[in-house]
Amino acid sequence: MATDDQSRDDDTGAGSPLASLLGHGERLRVLDHHIDVDTWAGGIPQTRARVPDVRIGRRWYSTLWLIPIGLVTVVFAVALAQQLRQYDWMKTFIDTYPGTSASYAPAVTSGFPAWLRWQHLFNIVFMMFLMRAGIQILSDHPRLYLNSGCQPGTAWLRMRDPIPADRLDQSDAARVWTAKDDSVALPKWFGIPGFRHSIGLARWWHFSFDLLWLVNGLVFYVLLFASGQWRRLVPQSWDVFPNALSTAVQYASLDFGANEGFTNYNGMQIICYFATVFVFAPLAFITGLLQAPAIAARFGFGAGVFNRQVARTVHFTVLLWMVFFIAVHTTMVFITGFVGNLNHIVLGTNTHSYWALAVYAAVMAVIGVLWLIASPLTIRYPRVVQIVGRWTVGWIKWFMEWAQPKATYSEDDISPYFWPNGRVPTSERYEQLRAGGWADWSLRIQGLVENPITLSYKDILAMPKHDQITQHYCIQGWSGVAKWGGVRMSDILDLVRPLPSARWVVFYSMADAGADPEEGRYYDCHPIAHMNAPTCLLAYEMNDEPLNVTHGAPLRLRNEREIGFKQVKWIEGIEFVESFEHLGLGYGGAHEDYEFFGYRMPI
């Protein structure tokens, strides 16, 4: 990867005629891409996430209360179970339903085959990265809601304070609280990579290991059913429920029955395993996909019960289940005959060899090391993470972009509050253009086109106008429905007539990309194939009003199959190019260059 950056060493040009005309390329290439957390994202202070609070009615409660509540519950459950086991009817019940029984699943006597043992190991390695990166993604918008517009004050879970009330005024673009202001940091041994607003990098980890985890899971399903091992996991009679209850009472009374896990799982075990493998795992996948603009804009999931915020909430619930499951599962492995249990899953035999313990300890040490190096390596080699991630999952994102983004919503779905994001233009020139009612502003469209043109604000207003009510999906997790009015990109294409060699469309903003002037101005590239969608718009109106400064005046992009950061605001130039390698740092946009995002963002 180093050579990739070295080759740019002497190249400090703007990359294209329009880029240099608009002042987009006077920066030096960054050669060594390691991240300095102190100056990252304009040196935002590393505000830490809080232990989550949950809202019940109008009041917020710390989830730390779960610790004493849990302890009291356990003590109470033990007392209750021990008392219950004194009664004859309970003794009869446990005799009838011993907890482990062949009545709901026949004994599987073939042991644990090697493929199953390996897959079990891969699963935990993949999930550790998946879950940590997932929590990092959550902390980039550390609130969960059930309404698609993420209206302030309606969250049910939060990992930071409420938005300062004096920063909700969207007419004050310089002061308004942005989604980036809202992100929080995690300890780097916990999230990946920990520091604030590192979602671009966290997503490569999340999606790459997600893919590995899914492939592992699919292979597992196939082998499970091909081998007959599924009989361990799928209860075949309702008897499983009284047996599960019996197991619960026995465990709670701290008097466990014999562990027959090598051939038969007890009622509780089989229900939990079944739910994890066949309910929660697929649910994680589905609720992940439901958060994708490309999928939602194809099927209209923006409003209603399948909206992104419900999907985020359910996705998070799956995480809670997985954490709970892993904690209880591991505890049970320890307290129900540790060495014997390890022999089952490490060696696949019903023996009591200490080799299994040795292998387990060695594997745990390796996992511990992997755990600890993930964040430091990401901070040291973010560009490698981006490139490897793109190589691993980029092609899938390309498939997702095929979906036609045709969903539109009704006036009733429009979000009362639409979160703002990004860095507003601060130049004097922008202020003058705005003060002059955009009379002196113009949109230059050139590059690989037959007919390069420059349009004034008036010219654009004179073109056919289209309205659409669509949903915005910020990479950070929030969403919002708004009505956009403007001109179709397909009409622009008809005017300029792109040459066959044009493959990408670059949108240049008047605003800076970041606080560091070295990052230059904001820009982003879109595949030309997206420009023909009827919903691909250059918007100058939002909710029937002229676009305000906060949301991108005078002109901003809507490409409904892509995530929010691709929707360039404060546009003043559009260029048709064959490749974007020569623009900026060459990764496809300002956030691709400096925040390590991917250039395809249908999810």
Interacting residues with ligand MTE (CB under 6 A): 418-423, 474, 509, 511, 522, 551-552, 564-565, 567-570
| CB-nearer residue toward ligand MTE: 321 or 508 | 508
In the complex, least distance from residue 177 CB atom to Mo ion, rounded to whole angstroms: 14
In the complex, least distance from residue 554 CB atom to ligand MTE, rounded to whole angstroms: 12
In the complex, least distance from residue 475 CB atom to Mo ion, rounded to whole angstroms: 5
DSSP letter, residue 278 = I
- What is the amino acid identity at position 261? G
In the complex, least distance from residue 200 CB atom to Mo ion, rounded to whole angstroms: 11
Q: How far apart are CA 144 and CA 139, in angstroms?
A: 10
| CA–CA distances in Å: residue 132 to residues 137, 159, 519 | 9, 16, 29
Could you tell me which residues come within 8 angstroms of residue 153 by beta carbon, excluding any fewer than 6 positions away? 162
| CB-nearer residue toward ligand MTE: 126 or 507 | 507
| CB-nearer residue toward Mo ion: 197 or 232 | 197
420 binds, among Mo ion, ligand MTE, none (CB under 5 to 8 A by kind): ligand MTE
Compute CA 586 distance to the chain's CA centroid, rounded to the nearest angstrom: 24
In the complex, least distance from residue 65 CB atom to ligand MTE, rounded to whole angstroms: 34
**Is cis: bond before 193, omega within 30 of 0?**
yes
530 binds, among ligand MTE, Mo ion, none (CB under 5 to 8 A by kind): none
In the complex, least distance from residue 552 CB atom to ligand MTE, rounded to whole angstroms: 6
568 binds, among Mo ion, ligand MTE, none (CB under 5 to 8 A by kind): ligand MTE
| CB-nearer residue toward ligand MTE: 378 or 567 | 567
For the chain, how many residues are written? Answer: 603
Helix (H) or strand (E) holding 368: helix 354-380
Task: Assign 523 to helix, strand or coil.
Answer: strand
457 binds, among Mo ion, ligand MTE, none (CB under 5 to 8 A by kind): none
In the complex, least distance from residue 442 CB atom to ligand MTE, rounded to whole angstroms: 17
| CB-nearer residue toward ligand MTE: 397 or 569 | 569
Contact positions vs Mo ion (CB under 5 A): 421, 474-475, 564-565
Nearest 10 degrees: CA dihedral of 258, 264, 265, 266? -50
| CB-nearer residue toward Mo ion: 183 or 216 | 183
Other C-beta atoms closer than 10 Å to the C-beta of 107 total 13
Helix (H) or strand (E) holding 374: helix 354-380
| CB-nearer residue toward ligand MTE: 341 or 476 | 476
Q: How far apart are CA 581 and CA 574, in angstroms?
A: 16
In the complex, least distance from residue 357 CB atom to ligand MTE, rounded to whole angstroms: 50
| CA–CA distances in Å: residue 188 to residues 286, 316, 374 | 28, 20, 9
In the complex, least distance from residue 421 CB atom to Mo ion, rounded to whole angstroms: 5
> In the numeric block, which tokens belong to residue 431?
């202020």
Could you tell me which residues come within 8 angstroms of residue 180 by beta carbon, excluding any fewer than 6 positions away? 41, 44, 197, 421, 422, 476
In the complex, least distance from residue 483 CB atom to Mo ion, rounded to whole angstroms: 19
Query: Which of 502, 507, 478, 488 lies closest to 415 in space, CA to CA?
Result: 478
| CB-nearer residue toward ligand MTE: 301 or 565 | 565
| CB-nearer residue toward ligand MTE: 401 or 595 | 595
Task: Assign 570 to helix, strand or coil.
Answer: coil
418 binds, among Mo ion, ligand MTE, none (CB under 5 to 8 A by kind): ligand MTE
* Residue 511 backbone dihedrals phi, psi, to 5 degrees: -95, 155
| CB-nearer residue toward ligand MTE: 368 or 546 | 546
Task: Assign 272 to helix, strand or coil.
Answer: helix
287 binds, among ligand MTE, Mo ion, none (CB under 5 to 8 A by kind): none
477 binds, among ligand MTE, Mo ion, none (CB under 5 to 8 A by kind): none
Q: How far apart are CA 507 and CA 123, in angstroms?
A: 41
Pairing state of beta strands 556-558 and 479-488?
unpaired
509 binds, among Mo ion, ligand MTE, none (CB under 5 to 8 A by kind): ligand MTE
Other C-beta atoms closer than 10 Å to the C-beta of 371 total 16
| CB-nearer residue toward ligand MTE: 155 or 374 | 155
CB-nearest residue to ligand MTE = 422
| CB-nearer residue toward Mo ion: 99 or 302 | 302
> In the numeric block, which tokens belong to residue 343?
């022999």
Helix (H) or strand (E) holding 483: strand 479-488
| CB-nearer residue toward ligand MTE: 397 or 551 | 551
Query: Which of 159, 94, 122 lies closest to 345 in space, CA to CA?
Result: 122
In the complex, least distance from residue 379 CB atom to ligand MTE, rounded to whole angstroms: 22
Q: How far apart are CA 199 and CA 400, in angstroms?
A: 20
Q: How far apart are CA 292 and CA 232, in angstroms?
A: 35
In the complex, least distance from residue 258 CB atom to Mo ion, rounded to whole angstroms: 55
| CB-nearer residue toward ligand MTE: 201 or 249 | 201
CB 236 within 8 A of CB 104: yes
Q: How far apart are CA 281 and CA 601, in angstroms?
A: 23
423 binds, among ligand MTE, Mo ion, none (CB under 5 to 8 A by kind): ligand MTE
551 binds, among Mo ion, ligand MTE, none (CB under 5 to 8 A by kind): ligand MTE
522 binds, among ligand MTE, Mo ion, none (CB under 5 to 8 A by kind): ligand MTE
Query: Which of 36, 27, 41, 19 lies closest to 520 in space, CA to CA?
Result: 27
Q: Residue for token digits 């981006």?
A: 386
Could you tell me which residues come within 8 angstroms of residue 566 by beta carbon, excluding any fewer than 6 positions away? 524, 526, 557, 559, 589, 601
In the complex, least distance from residue 48 CB atom to ligand MTE, rounded to whole angstroms: 22
In the complex, least distance from residue 155 CB atom to Mo ion, rounded to whole angstroms: 18
